[in-house]
Amino acid sequence: MGLSLGVDIGGTFTDFALHDAARGEVFLHKRLTTPEAPGRAVLEGAVALLAEHGVGLEALDVLVHGTTLITNATIERKGAKTGFLVTQGFADVIEIGREQRYDLFDLRLQFPAPLVPRALRRDVAERVLPGGRVERALDEDAVLASAAELVAEGCDALAVGLLHSYAFPAHEQRIGALVRARFPQLAVSLSHEVSPFMREYERWTTTIVNAYTQPLADRYLAALEDGLAQGGFRGRLLVMTASGGTATPDMARRFPVRLIESGPAAGALMSAWLSRRLEGVEDLLSFDMGGTTAKGALVRGQAPLRRFELEVARVHAFKKGSGLPLKIPVLDMIEIGSGGGSIASLDNRGLIAVGPHSAGASPGPACYGLGGQVPTLTDANLVLGHLNPDFFLGGKMALDAGAARVALEARFGGLGLDAARAAWGVYETANEDVARAFRVHAAERGFDYRGCAMVAFGGSGPLCATRIARKLRVPKLVFPAGAGVMSAIGLLVSPLSHELVKSDRVLLEDLDDAGLEARFARLEAEVRAPLREAGVAAPVMQRALDMRYRGQGYEIDVALPAGAGIAELPALFEVAYRRIFNISFPGQGLEIVNWKASASGPPPAAMETLRIITADGGEALKGERQVYQAASNSFRAVPVYNRYALMPGDTLHGPALVEENESTAVLGAGDSAVMDASGNLVVSVGA
Amino acid sequence: MSYDPVEYDPVELGIMWDRVVSIADEVVSALITTSFSTIVRESGDLSCMLFNGDGASLAQGNFSVPSFTGTGPPTLRHMLAKFPPESLEPGDVLITNDPWMGTGHTWDVNVMRPVFRGGRLVAYTLSVTHLPDIGGLGFSTVGTDIYAEGLRLPIQKLLKRGVVNAELMEIILGNVRFPEMVQGDILANIACNEVGGRLLTDFMDEYKLDDLGPLSRAIIERTESAMRAKIALIPDGVYRNAIPVEGIDEPLRLECAVTIRGSDVLIDLEGTTGSVQRAINVPLCYTRAFCNYALKVVTIPDLPNNEGAANPITLTAPPDCVLNALPPRATAGRHVIGHFVAPLIFGALAPALPSQVQADCGMLSQTSMRGTNLAERPVSSLFFAAGGFGALHGQDGRDATPGPSNMIGSPIEIWEDETNITVLHKRLIPDSGGAGEWRGGNGQAIALRNDTGHVLDAACFSSRSEHAAQGYNGGKPGALRETLLNGEHVHPKGRYLMQPGEVLETREAGGGGYGDPSRRARAAVLADIEAGRLTPEGAARDFGVVKGSGT
């Protein structure tokens, strides 16, 4: 395999990473996103970057693509007009939701409206009970009549959700066959295909988002494929999913809901890839902080943790329960409402709070000089001396430190804090918010972060990372090469993969090895099929179960080593349970709730090492800058280095700053950093 | 109490405060995920709290029902009165379910662990959960005194120096219907407090704190002064309200006089009906929790909850009135009456705080189902269903949303799979929300059929079958709740033996509206018709809007 290209479309920029297997090198490119036709920037950028190598699209073997199209369409409600066929008597379930107030004290809390309004939902006369008994047969004529009405109403997509279809899909399958035959132009999503998961509200919501985005995904991929083909591309197109794997365009068209939030997944996957290249690193925290949010992920045993749920389109940006719940395979990401543009405010306690509101790009932080009056995390970093007013975005934008100081003093002067101490308060509050989010997330998963490593990237990640690492007692921190385009590089290491989870509650005592094997065999056949179609003959298979003590309501993920049978399950469960809760209940019966299988092929680019071509020579030491020191509440001169001029083996001692175009790494007193052979800056975090 | 003269600046205080709240949340998370009963995990009927070494509160987990707003500090005081700090050793864990010391009924178990650091008692953690069973008559309103309501555990050491008190455990498990589940839930309480202790000592290590007293004091003072500042904005005066509430044998009346004097709130419940010979009496601790909740919601809804939010409020009530029931009254269903304390207080404050208070909610119904499923395994589950949420100034009430209490609806597929009680339908009821410039939320209709193959014991806990959710400021009341067994109306607080195939149906009450319905925009009424929230007839009757007529 020769040339592979990763292309990640972000809100502002579309990022490119080209891997040349013959030279073992990666070349980067960035250009403005073209929101009206996102595929245009993809094509133009690909052509431009390849041209620098003297080749055209025809020389490209693989193009891996990450897009926010599906996420945005769901958030902005720009999907297709969608109808919903549902078991009679339950059309309001998607509207009622979980009947829970996600905030006990806020009487004015808001909930997301369902994507399908009441007028486009139709009851289906049918009913299947648990165990599969058909209480009421499917009224096929009525199904077709309802579908015809919805089509006449202008629906381009149809979601179908029937009770207990996760285990007994016959009625949904029949509806699918009937409707697809009669209305071939209609995009039809069946709940047992999209997410065979036992919780009707979540499964149906997932299915509706799938249907809602299907026509859009189809049009977009068709246009992209056409454009690439006209440009001479004859390689394979792959699309990134949220699970940290890629899908063929065909799979992406069937299950567009799985593309939601795929950008952050690629970044986390890149962190995991790095953990395999760094000496002595098994577990790590992936930390990505941009302009509006921070994202975290836990990497255990060199693989990112996964789960099967995600909440999107939240009404309250960071309140769990205020969005649409999706049951899809995803990397288990932490989302935190802190980024460079996060606004610092006084909360009702009279204390400093940072985010979740963001000043955005316009007017942006006060120091941008675009009219922003309120202080942000970026303003704090500027006042503390972490940012260079003359070298923001590589010098493309000048920052106004005076404006930042004025904004901080105006807001926090009443607390008796000067601008520097207020800036430190804002900075520390944001750092603590991130550390806390990692702590809670790790505790819920039994992940011991103390002693593991952290990979920090994104525009604001390197500014905060050494403080956060200290708070978490993380001794080793990595600022990777190409931190500004981590997602695009991550696409190149994302394997073609497919995962399924299926609910089938069974007591362990009622199951034998043959039953276990039969259930997995069925699931694995389904999981393997799309990979086989894409030419992957022998994918890597992985089995896992969601298990619990009989009677409990929460399951934990138990990964099965190859060949594990019934006899091994209690011990595997107990280890996993103890890891999370430090307690187990010997003698209690066990039950399996969900069955999970995944298949993955090789990554698109055979990257063994990653040499990113960025060095520009020149002098490593650029000068020095006054940086705030909390311990003494005073400023002190600190050396500033040019990241691009650092050579492998170069060692730096904190306090120090390391500048690159997209960010600045802050090293504190006691930290020391070494540039490794691949261009990563590896920091030993001081006590 | 003595404190070091430590003062935290706003930077330090904010960071440490957020951290202790986060620790309380982690304790809650550990409790939920290790619990065995559906009521804990699905309804959030639990709480966790942290205290400093003097027993002053630090933080309460954010996830909780309102019944536990501020109940923890008094519970801990009762425990320390019986077992003073010097009698506690590392590894000890205390337990009680006394309704008057805990949260109002014997089903709630309170589990407390003293936290030691370097041999010194530095903190306490406390968790509360609703057990699946506690013996006696079982969870229903039919009891006539506390002795019918199962085990009443005086404060005891459940663990002594890390070892489970086997005799006590044997007594508990020998007296309950589902000993496996009960044991699992008690162990979950032990486990979560263990987690809390570990996280608190880690936190103290990290910030080099020897004493949590100054932090606790700063948190309470900040909270209290923020709340007092908001109370001071309410004009001084005495605000009165009285509401009729459905009892079982006789109607009840709840009455309050809320006196605002500067930044103090005095709530007096004089005029409230006396306790009754049914298990719907409310101990004062539970009444106080809902008073605290109502006041917090209208003053400092977004501040973390702790003792500081309770300090400005003084509560008095006539002895043995239904909101201050004394032993040996029966209290199993204290929530059925106790939930009305929130609308009672809102109603009193409505003239003073018209844009903060909420019109009455349709509230929720709870059905306790006990029996045996098709697989011959025991069933003990609660089915919750929410009525409509009350409207606020400027905002419609949401359909099928619980208030003032909270819960999580059980997914139908999980409910049916575990119980074999079939849900025949679950749909919103158009026109059931109270009309208003802002509409009350609609209720929902739910039917449950006994497909277990066995007789099923169904105990209902609900209200608003005679007294609808009232609208405010010209808003109309919501529709009444109905409970039907095989199509016949039955008492909403009754207990019924359902034969196989029998059907229990509830039609949940609507929320009250806010403001005069004639002021509602025509476009909003038409949109409600389009969305199925109003029928065309309902729109004409309640709002005077006829589709297509231009009026």
The mean pLDDT of A597-616, rounded to a whole number, is: 75
CB contact (8 A) between residue B425 and residue A90: yes
Whether A53 maps to a domain, the answer reads: yes
pLDDT reading at B117 higher than 60: yes
pLDDT reading at B144 higher than 90: yes
Could you say which residues from 53 to 112 on chain B have a Cβ atom under 8 Å away from some Cβ of chain A? 62-66
Whether A69 maps to a domain, the answer reads: yes
Integer Cα distance of B54 and B220 in angstroms:
13
Count of domains observed in chain A: 5
Show the domain range for A583.
498-511+528-600
Q: What pLDDT shows up at residue B156?
A: 98
Q: How confident is the model at residue B5 (pLDDT cuts 50, 70, 90)?
A: very low
Backbone angles phi and psi of A245, in degrees to 5: -130, 175
ipTM beyond cut 0.85: yes
Shortest distance between the Cα of B297 and any Cα of chain A, in A, equals 5
Residue of A nearest to B192 (CA): A581
The mean pLDDT of A431-443, rounded to a whole number, is: 90
Integer Cα distance of B99 and B282 in angstroms:
9
Q: Does B381 touch chain A (CB under 8 A)?
A: no
CB contact (8 A) between residue B300 and residue A348: yes
Q: What pLDDT shows up at residue B40?
A: 64
E strand or H helix that includes residue B90: none
The residue to which tokens 């009963």 are assigned? B37
Residue of A nearest to B419 (CA): A130
Interface test with A, best of B9, B11, B33 (most A CBs within 10 A): B11
Q: What pLDDT shows up at residue B39?
A: 64
Query: Which of A416, A436, A554 is closest, CB to CB, to B33?
Result: A554
Query: Which of A105, A111, A416 is closest, CB to CB, to B398?
Result: A111
Shortest distance between the Cα of B11 and any Cα of chain A, in A, equals 5
Q: Which residues contact A599 (CB under 8 A, 6 or more apart)?
A: A497, A498, A499, A524, A527, A528, A531, A536, A539, A540, A541, A542
CB contact (8 A) between residue A352 and residue B11: yes
Query: Among residues B295, B284, B221, which one has the least CA distance to residue B258?
Result: B295
pLDDT reading at A615 higher than 70: no
CB contact (8 A) between residue A198 and residue B413: yes
Q: How confident is the model at residue B43 (pLDDT cuts 50, 70, 90)?
A: low
Task: Decide: helix, strand or coil at residue A55.
Answer: coil
**A277-325 pLDDT per residue, tens:** 888 888 999 999 988 889 999 999 888 998 888 999 888 877 888 999 9
Q: What pLDDT shows up at residue A626?
A: 97
Same domain, yes or no, for A203 and A224? no
Query: Which of A92, A131, A582 is closest, CB to CB, to B427?
Result: A92
Lowest mean pLDDT among A349-363, B190-204, B512-526: A349-363
Residue type, position B267, single letter: I
B395 DSSP 8-state letter: B
Q: What pLDDT shows up at residue A253?
A: 96
Q: How confident is the model at residue B3 (pLDDT cuts 50, 70, 90)?
A: very low
Q: What pLDDT shows up at residue A614?
A: 58
For strands A60-66 and B252-261, give the pairing.
unpaired
Shortest distance between the Cα of A432 and any Cα of chain B, in A, equals 7
CB contact (8 A) between residue B424 and residue A582: no
Whether A35 maps to a domain, the answer reads: yes
Q: Does A659 touch chain B (CB under 8 A)?
A: no
Integer Cα distance of A212 and B482 in angstroms:
37
The mean pLDDT of B128-154, rounded to a whole number, is: 92
How many residue contacts between A and B have a Cβ separation below 8 Å?
Answer: 208
Taking residue A597's Cβ as centre, other Cβ atoms within 10 Å add up to: 24
* DSSP letter string, A597-644: EEEE---SS--SS-EE-----S-SEEEEEEEEETTTTEEEEEEEEEGG
Residue of B nearest to A117 (CA): B531
Q: Does B208 touch chain A (CB under 8 A)?
A: no
pLDDT reading at B38 higher than 90: no
Integer Cα distance of B428 and B40 in angstroms:
26
Q: Does B167 touch chain A (CB under 8 A)?
A: no
Q: How confident is the model at residue B10 (pLDDT cuts 50, 70, 90)?
A: confident
Whether A337 maps to a domain, the answer reads: no
CB contact (8 A) between residue A96 and residue B412: no
**B239-249 pLDDT per residue, tens:** 999 999 999 98
pLDDT reading at B2 higher than 50: no
Domain closes at, from A428, A444, A460: A428
Integer Cα distance of A445 and A576 in angstroms:
9
Same domain, yes or no, for A70 and A95? no
Residue of A nearest to B386 (CA): A99
In chain A, residues with a C-beta closer than 8 Å to the C-beta of B424 are: 89
Same domain, yes or no, for A540 and A580? yes
Q: Does A98 touch chain B (CB under 8 A)?
A: yes
Q: What pLDDT shows up at residue B551?
A: 47
Q: Does B380 touch chain A (CB under 8 A)?
A: no
In chain B, residues with a C-beta closer than 8 Å to the C-beta of A135 are: 422
Same domain, yes or no, for A367 and A248? no
Q: Which residues contact B259 (CB under 8 A, 6 or more apart)?
A: B237, B238, B239, B265, B266, B267, B268
In chain A, residues with a C-beta closer than 8 Å to the C-beta of B181 are: 551
Whether A284 maps to a domain, the answer reads: no
Question: pTM for the complete prediction?
Answer: 0.92
CB contact (8 A) between residue A129 and residue B451: yes
CB contact (8 A) between residue B226 and residue A353: no
* DSSP letter string, A217-246: HHHHHHHHHHHHHHTT--SEEEEE-TTSSE
Q: Does A132 touch chain B (CB under 8 A)?
A: no
Q: Does B184 touch chain A (CB under 8 A)?
A: yes
Same domain, yes or no, for A404 and A423? yes
CB contact (8 A) between residue B191 and residue A119: no
**B423-476 pLDDT per residue, tens:** 999 999 999 999 999 999 999 999 999 999 999 999 998 999 999 999 999 999
The mean pLDDT of B485-509, rounded to a whole number, is: 96
Whether A318 maps to a domain, the answer reads: no
Order across the sheet with B421-428: list the strands. Answer: B421-428, B444-450, B503-507, B482-485, B488-489
Q: Does B35 touch chain A (CB under 8 A)?
A: yes
Shortest distance between the Cα of A415 and any Cα of chain B, in A, equals 7
Shortest distance between the Cα of B322 and any Cα of chain A, in A, equals 26
B512 DSSP 8-state letter: P
Cβ pair A597, A543 in contact under 8 A: yes
Q: Does A184 touch chain B (CB under 8 A)?
A: no
Same domain, yes or no, for A171 and A101? yes
Buried b (16+ CB within 10 A) or exposed e, A427-436: bbbbbbbbbb
| Domain ranges (residues) in chain B | 10-225, 358-520
Q: Within its chain, how far is the Cα of A540 from the centroid?
A: 23
Q: Does A307 touch chain B (CB under 8 A)?
A: no
Q: How confident is the model at residue A28 (pLDDT cuts 50, 70, 90)?
A: confident
pLDDT reading at B257 higher than 90: yes
Among A242-246, A258-262, B343-347, name the most confident range: B343-347
In chain B, residues with a C-beta closer than 8 Å to the C-beta of A92 are: 399-400, 426-428, 444
Query: Which of A89, A130, A583 is closest, CB to CB, to B191?
Result: A583
Query: Which of B34, B222, B412 is closest, CB to CB, to A581?
Result: B34
Query: Which of A89, A198, A425 is closest, CB to CB, to B427?
Result: A89
In chain B, residues with a C-beta closer than 8 Å to the C-beta of A471 are: 206
* Encoded tokens for A52: 């620098």
In chain A, residues with a C-beta closer than 8 Å to the C-beta of B182 are: none
Rg (CA), chain B: 24
Query: Which of B301, B426, B451 is closest, CB to CB, to A93?
Result: B426
**B170-184 pLDDT per residue, tens:** 999 999 988 888 998
CB contact (8 A) between residue B184 and residue A588: yes
Query: Among residues B471, B478, B488, which one has the least CA distance to residue B444?
Result: B478
% of chain A at pLDDT higher than 70: 98
Task: Decide: helix, strand or coil at residue B353.
Answer: coil
Same domain, yes or no, for A137 and A237? no
Integer Cα distance of A421 and A81 in angstroms:
53
Residues in chain A: 687
In chain B, residues with a C-beta closer than 8 Å to the C-beta of A557 are: none
Q: Does A445 touch chain B (CB under 8 A)?
A: no
Mean pLDDT of chain A: 91
Cβ pair A162, A221 in contact under 8 A: no
Query: Which of B32, B35, B412 is closest, CB to CB, to A163?
Result: B412
The mean pLDDT of A334-351, rounded to a whole number, is: 90
Whether A93 maps to a domain, the answer reads: yes
Interface test with B, best of A94, A98, A103, A105 (most B CBs within 10 A): A105
Whether A307 maps to a domain, the answer reads: no
Residue of B nearest to A116 (CA): B531
CB contact (8 A) between residue A580 and residue B384: no
Same domain, yes or no, for A574 and A505? yes
Higher pLDDT, B63 or B378: B378
Q: How confident is the model at residue A29 (pLDDT cuts 50, 70, 90)?
A: confident
Domain closes at, from A572, A600, A628: A600
Q: What pLDDT shows up at residue A609?
A: 65
Taking residue B449's Cβ as centre, other Cβ atoms within 10 Å add up to: 19
The mean pLDDT of B151-166, rounded to a whole number, is: 97
Could you tell me how many helices (H) and strands (E) chain A has, helices first?
16, 36
Same domain, yes or no, for A589 and A547? yes
The mean pLDDT of B322-343, rounded to a whole number, is: 96
Q: What pLDDT shows up at residue A446?
A: 80
Domain closes at, from A578, A600, A622: A600
Integer Cα distance of A397 and A115 in angstroms:
41
CATH number for position A9: 3.30.420.40
Query: Which of B37, B64, B392 is closest, CB to CB, to A108?
Result: B392
Q: What pLDDT shows up at residue B509?
A: 98
**B387-411 pLDDT per residue, tens:** 999 999 999 999 999 999 888 778 9
Higher pLDDT, A442 or B255: B255
* Encoded tokens for B532: 């199925």
Integer Cα distance of A657 and B18 in angstroms:
29
Query: Which of B42, B66, B194 is closest, CB to CB, to A553?
Result: B42
Same domain, yes or no, for A662 and A595? no
